[in-house]
Amino acid sequence: MNWLLKGDAGQRAVVTWNMSRPEAQAASGTDWMYPVLSLNLNDPYAAVRFITHTTLRDLSGMEDFEYEYVGDESVTRPRVKVTYEKWFNEIKLRDLEFEPSTLLQPNGLFQPGEVARLLNLRDDRPIFLAE
C-alpha cells in the first residue's frame, strides 16, 4: 500500500500493474482496490494513470469505465471522484467492513488523514526506467 501512493512513479506503476493479476486479486480480494486505485487516476505520471485505468477495467463492474489518462489535473481529478462514487454506490457490498490497513474506514470511506499523509510523502522526482 505504501508504494502504491507514496513510492516513486516506477514503484507506483509496478504495484498498480500487479493489482491486475488474478493471483494478487485472489490473494487479497478486490473490494478495497477500487477506491485506492481511484486515487492514482490523478497521478502526476501519465504512465501510472494509464496502468491504473487498465487495472480498474479488469475489476468487476468497471469493464466499461471511460477515462482519458492524458491530460492535466483539471481532466484527471474529477475522474477520481466519479470512480470512487461508482464503486461506493454501485459495486461495494453494503455490509462489507474494511480493515484500517486498506486506508478505508470500516464503512468504505477514506481515512482522510492517512491518505493525505501518504500522498504528501509521494516521491514525484523525475525518473527514467530502462527496460
**Is 110 within a domain?**
yes
Task: For residue range 65-93, list pLDDT tens digits in order.
Answer: 989 899 888 888 898 999 999 999 999 98
Q: Please give the DSSP secondary-structure letter assigned to residue 100.
A: G
**Is 130 within a domain?**
no
CA dihedral angle for residue 39, residue 45, residue 46, residue 47, rounded to 10 degrees: -100
**Is 37 within a domain?**
yes
**Is 77 within a domain?**
yes
Q: How far, in Å, CA of 10 to CA of 17, rounded?
A: 11
Q: Give pTM, 2 decimals.
A: 0.90
Domain carrying residue 109: 2-120
Q: What is the number of structural domains in the chain?
A: 1
| pLDDT for 100 | 87
**Is 128 within a domain?**
no
Handedness of CA 21, 106, 111, 39 (dihedral sign): positive
Q: How far, in Å, CA of 62 to CA of 4, rounded?
A: 20
**Is 127 within a domain?**
no
Closest by Cα among 5, 12, 22, 28 to 116: 5
| pLDDT for 117 | 92
| pLDDT for 32 | 93
Q: What is the mean pLDDT of the chain?
A: 91
| pLDDT for 131 | 66
**Is 86 within a domain?**
yes
Q: Please give the DSSP secondary-structure letter assigned to residue 105.
A: -
**Is 74 within a domain?**
yes
| pLDDT for 73 | 87
| pLDDT for 12 | 95
| pLDDT for 126 | 86
Work out the angle at residue 56's Cα, subtended by the Cα atoms of residues 106 and 104, and round it to the nearest 5 degrees: 15
| pLDDT for 84 | 94
Residues of the chain with pLDDT under 70: 1, 131
Other beta carbons less than 10 A from residue 29's beta carbon? 11
